[in-house]
Amino acid sequence: SKSNNRQLPTSISFITAGAGGLLGWVIIHPFNTLSVRKNLQSNNNKIKINNFKGFLSLYDGLSAGLIRQLFYATSRFGFYELLRDQISKYKDIDFITRLSVGVISGGIAALISCPAEVTLVRLSNDANQPINERRNYKGVTNAFIRIINEEGPLTFFRGCGPFIQRAMVVGAVQVGTYDQLKSYFTNKLKNYPTIQYKDTLSVFFSAMASGLCYSIITMPLETTKNRMASQKIDQLTGKYPYTSVFQTISKIIRNEGLLKLWSGFIPYYIRCGGHTVAMFMFVEWLRNQYY
């Protein structure tokens, strides 16, 4: 696309990254809610996913999702391009460099977005809890303030370990492989002068492929993050059942089997693959409007 041939101002790079993330999320949010509920279902086996208040309940926590994208997509994609462009002044950008830059930008973005992430998991899953266990948050602000008042601000960073680790993997796998594949497809498609919409096709195929890689690799960390962020203190032991990423993964494999780590994979892939495609298509489109 035209935007690849010229350097974008840093502010436009961050703004288009954030806007692409937000627009992509509006489309994909219901699948996120479904995937969180499906993924957490084992915590209370008796609950069937039939207590949805119609389709609209799938938009529970949309505002938290958008707030997270505002911080997360903007900083993850924005810092990625900023770092990549700085490094490109000194050396050619190869696949390993792209992966490394993805890891760093993903970690920075996750740290900034942790409070929004915990709020989002809580809001997405609240309607799925037994009535006596629901926290009944009224919305993002209410959830945010209540978490601080009732559990302390450090709660936002419990379950943050898997979120940051997952974001570093996502940064490498989603943004790094997308960037690599896009340059590959763009070069390959140059050999076919009759094909129309080359830019759109290369963005679409790159985003689909990077979304699939990213879904398969990150799903166990997503499962861990959901369990840790939504857990309550065990009445018998007086402790939280999940304490670390490794302990949570071991406990799930031991008690529920290895495949439980990929429970709810289809909605998760629709969410990840769909958001990857929608986000990058919007980002490229917005950048082409800028020129």
The pLDDT tens digits of the residues spanning 4-43 come to 546 788 899 999 999 999 999 998 888 888 777 777 775 5
Burial of 255 (0-12, 13-18, 19+ CB in 10 A): exposed
Cβ proximity of 87 and 97 under 8 Å = yes
Residue 84 has pLDDT above 60, yes or no: yes
Task: Please name each of the domains of the chain with its CATH number.
Answer: 2-290 (1.50.40.10)
- Among the ranges given (83-87, 113-117, 204-208), the one the predictor scored with the smallest mean pLDDT: 113-117
Q: Please give the Cα distance from 81 to 91 (Å, whole number).
A: 15
- Among the ranges given (27-41, 85-99, 137-151), the one the predictor scored with the smallest mean pLDDT: 27-41
**Hey, CA dihedral for 241, 247, 253, 255, is it positive or negative?**
negative
User: What local confidence, expressed as pLDDT, does residue 54 receive?
Assistant: 64
3-state secondary structure of 50: coil
